């Protein structure tokens, strides 16, 4: 056998062997990936729970705490102006301890700047005046309409005083809102998700 022919045979044999080995590794890798992906998905699902009416609880295992949020809802609409209210809370530890503080999250969309960097929030609950505190800007944008996002942090027991009322009015800056029954029920649902004890009406 001539030497060039022998070299061609050896080269062809090595190429086929490499191809077979490559296919084996790819198959083994593809068999391993679904298992790891399922594990990752299971960990994600275990750390997140969807409640009723848009209430969500997510466990942060790195910080050992639960983060409770609820989908914002529109509490005021006038023409193209809109004010949405959301809420969030953090419960420390994995034993479902009730949070000490909650955040009310305001999302305003108007044709002009209304609140700036902060706005005072006040309530009238069943005829009784109640200070909410200052809501501070944490986001927003200004394009064709002005979007302002503000966060009001208050003690959890203050929220309970508000949502246990029958008639609740709220003022943020110069904007006045009368919370409807469904708005209060929505906040009560959030409080329940957060582990707060409320008076059922």
3-class DSSP state of 94: coil
pLDDT at 33 over 50: no
Give Cα 108 to chain centroid, integer Å.
Answer: 18
What pTM does this model have?
A: 0.72
3-class DSSP state of 133: strand
pLDDT at 41 over 50: no
Over the range 156-175, which residues count as b (16 or more CB within 10 Å of their CB) and which as e?
Answer: bebbbbbbbbeebbbebbeb
> What percent of the chain lies above the pLDDT cut of 90?
60
**Cα–Cα distance measured from residue 188 to residue 180, given in angstroms and rounded to the nearest whole number:** 12
Hey, what are 121's tokens?
């929030």
Hey, what are 168's tokens?
């609740």
Token pair 């705490």 in the structure block, residue:
65
Beta strands in the chain (DSSP E): 48-50, 55-60, 65-78, 81-92, 101-110, 118-125, 128-142, 146-155, 168-172, 175-179
- Contact indicator for 99, 153 with CB cutoff of 8 Å: no
3-class DSSP state of 189: helix
Tell me the HSE value of 32 on the side-chain side, using a 13 A CA sphere.
Answer: 6
The continuous run of DSSP H or E covering 22 comes out as: helix 3-46
User: For residue 144, what pLDDT is reported?
Assistant: 79
Q: Per-residue confidence at 53, pLDDT binned at 50, 70, 90?
A: low
Nearest to 159 by CA among 188, 195, 120: 188
């Amino acid at each position: 056998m001539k030497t060039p022919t022998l070299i061609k045979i050896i080269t062809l044999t090595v190429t086929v062997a490499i191809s077979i080995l490559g296919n084996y590794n790819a198959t083994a890798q593809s068999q391993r990936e679904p298992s790891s992906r399922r594990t990752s998905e299971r960990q994600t699902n275990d750390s997140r729970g969807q409640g009723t009416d848009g209430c969500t609880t997510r466990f942060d295992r790195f910080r050992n705490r639960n983060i409770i949020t609820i989908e914002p809802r529109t509490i005021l609409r006038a023409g193209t102006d809109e004010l949405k209210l959301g809420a969030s809370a953090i419960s420390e530890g994995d034993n479902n301890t009730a949070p000490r503080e909650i955040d009310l999250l305001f999302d305003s969309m108007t044709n002009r700047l209304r609140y700036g960097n902060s706005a005072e929030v006040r309530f009238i609950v069943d005829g009784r005046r109640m200070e909410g505190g200052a809501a501070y800007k944490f986001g927003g944008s200004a394009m064709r309409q002005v979007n302002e996002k503000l966060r009001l942090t208050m003690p959890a027991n203050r929220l309970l005083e508000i949502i246990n009322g029958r008639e609740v009015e709220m003022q943020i800056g110069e904007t006045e809102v009368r919370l409807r029954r469904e708005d209060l029920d929505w906040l009560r649902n959030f409080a329940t998700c957060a582990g707060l004890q409320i008076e059922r009406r």
